[in-house]
Amino acid sequence: MSNPKYTVAPAEPPPSYEIAARPKPPPLRAPLPLQLPLITSLHDKRVILASASPRRKQLLAQIGLTKLQIIPSPLPENLPKESLSPFEYVLQTAVQKATYVYTTEINNSTLGEPALVLAADTVVVSHLGQILEKPRSEADHIAMLKMLRSSGYHRVYTAVVAMTPLASARDPGYAMETTVEETTVRFGRDISDETLMAYVRTREGADKAGGYGIQGIGAILVDRIEGSWDNVVGLPLRATLGLIEKVLTEGDEDELGDAFADDDE
């Protein structure tokens, strides 16, 4: 007979992977905005995040971009993984997202042209160079995490793209800056199968490439990282802030150069 003191009520079964992969709302409490002149200059302008990721939205809020318009690209992410390196794949995918949303919204007669469009794409790459997708089932999920545990390390690449209109009509009409960040992640080799299965059943990693979230419970799987932590979450903040500054400066310099050209005429 079991001891009532240690009797545990049966847990409800975890949700399906279709339900678990649906976008989740961001936390209710937003961080205080970062008071940087660069960010403050965008507060009354149209800034678009070409991504439905609540994690990216939350990270951008941490640097003061709290009034984002979310317009994800509807294009399928189906570039050929076989013929592209992970670096090329993630960069081309992010550029594709940014360019689509920018060209769609640049002539928006109601809201006006965007001052800034940001897009990003993140891939998890196994030690053999394979780009890992989101897990499709519980069996696929546990197998993926076991592979990451046994391989010793894997890499996470995030590409970020920033676009802004140029004041002149100079082709192509916009400035674009890009960056790709790389982080090496090492799982703990002593993580038990029981722990992996318990994590899988939380469904936290069901909507994430690689099957885990380092910013949540998935941190228990990670032994250490080499590189940017927020890059693994989905957006390297320091690199993104530098990218925003670079592309806006390029846009401002174009406006200044256009004014000098008018004076010379």
DSSP result, 32-49: PPP--HHHHTTTTS-EEE
Could you give the dihedral angle defined by the CA atoms of residues 108, 93, 60 and 106, in that order, rounded to the nearest 10 degrees? -10
Residue 226: beta bridge partners? Answer: 184
**CA 262 to chain CA centroid, nearest Å:** 41
| 121 tagged catalytic | yes
49: amino acid identity, one letter? L
> 83-86 — which CB contacts under 8 Å span 24+ positions?
86/123, 86/125, 86/129, 86/131, 86/155, 86/157
DSSP result, 94-155: HHHHHHHHHHHHTT-TTT---SEEEEEEEEEE-TTSPEE----SHHHHHHHHHHHHHHS-EE
Q: Determine contact, residues 178/91, Cβ cutoff 8 Å.
A: yes
- The single residue of 44, 121, 193, 207 carrying the catalytic annotation is 121
Whether a cis peptide bond, with omega within 30° of 0, leads into 172 is yes
Catalytic residues: 121
